[in-house]
Amino acid sequence: MSDDLTTLHDDGVLEIPVSLETGGNALDRGAILAGTDALHRVMRGNLKARAVLLTGKGKNFCAGGNVSDFASADDRREFLRGLAHDLNTFLSALYATQLPTVAAVNGWAAGAGMSIALHADFAVGGQTTRLRPAYPGIGLSPDGGMSWLLPRIVGLGRARTILMRDEALDAETALDLGLLSEIAEDDSLVSSRARELAAELSNGPTGAYAAIRHLLMTSSSNTLAEQLTAEAESIADLAVTGEGVEGVDAFLAKRIPDFPSARS
């Protein structure tokens, strides 16, 4: 399936561009709308995806919201409020599909572009990849979940300095901080490496990936006792899924598990 913007590849990877070459690689409203629609179709079972690949079309992954649009809005408060809620709809759909997500972070990920990259389970960068909050640079505060995700990845203190100093983080720093999961050997390899990783995940136990992400994302608000209970319920639930049965059976039969067939 492919429309002008999103593509479902034969191996189950749903590719969603978050920015286009126009507008300085700012978030593209049409692309996010198409991506949200595709994710909703996955949730309804009308689209058989097994992994999501977020990309940027052009030299940057995403430069955040289109600042020119902000300036031209009649009511800037309501306009930005609406955009932020629209972005939240996209991000909520990303989690609701319960699919592993890879971001191909070429060039800059700034503003909401950095926020989106933080939501990916795996963010593949290149030698010149840089992440920058950008919000304070134009007198704004973060959106897209950055103030929730960033402190949980790097710690509250470091998150505060990154945000309040609007730090531009180079690839190595972002990798050290856990904001990138790997750096491709060359900028030209970011897209192909991210695509390859998404294909690997698409062939894996996507139900287990989703459970792992849910357990990790909820752990910070759970007590240890609550988390122990959540883990016990999760492993029990997965044990009787197609993938859970296939994983155990394949191990005992000393063969490679066929998770995609077990899930479908």
Ligand X SMILES: CCCCCCCCCCCCC/C=C/C(=O)SCCNC(=O)CCNC(=O)[C@H](O)C(C)(C)COP(=O)(O)OP(=O)(O)OC[C@H]1O[C@@H](n2cnc3c(N)ncnc32)[C@H](O)[C@@H]1OP(=O)(O)O
Binding site for ligand X (CB under 6 A): 23-24, 26-27, 29, 32-33, 36, 60, 63-68, 80, 83-84, 86-87, 89-90, 108, 110-112, 132, 134-135, 137-138, 140, 143
- Kindly tell me which of 11 and 86 has the beta carbon lying closer to ligand X: 86
- Kindly tell me which of 27 and 54 has the beta carbon lying closer to ligand X: 27
- CB of residue 1 to ligand X, shortest distance in Å: 19
- CB of residue 80 to ligand X, shortest distance in Å: 6
- CB of residue 174 to ligand X, shortest distance in Å: 14
The three-class DSSP label of residue 107 is coil
Helix axes 112-119, 76-96, angle to 10 degrees: 10
- CB of residue 31 to ligand X, shortest distance in Å: 8
Distance CA 167, CA 173 (A): 11
* Torsion-angle region of 211 (φ positive above 0: left; ψ -120 to 50: alpha; else: beta): alpha
Q: Are 20 and 61 in contact (CB under 8 A)?
A: no
- CB of residue 230 to ligand X, shortest distance in Å: 30
| Angle (nearest 5°) at CA 29 between 113 and 94 | 60
- Kindly tell me which of 66 and 97 has the beta carbon lying closer to ligand X: 66
- Kindly tell me which of 99 and 208 has the beta carbon lying closer to ligand X: 99
Quick one: DSSP state of residue 136?
G
Q: Are 162 and 150 in contact (CB under 8 A)?
A: yes
- CB of residue 109 to ligand X, shortest distance in Å: 8
Distance CA 105, CA 184 (A): 10
Distance CA 201, CA 209 (A): 9
- Kindly tell me which of 121 and 143 has the beta carbon lying closer to ligand X: 143
Distance CA 100, CA 26 (A): 24
Closest CA to 169 of 186, 183, 156: 183
- Kindly tell me which of 90 and 209 has the beta carbon lying closer to ligand X: 90
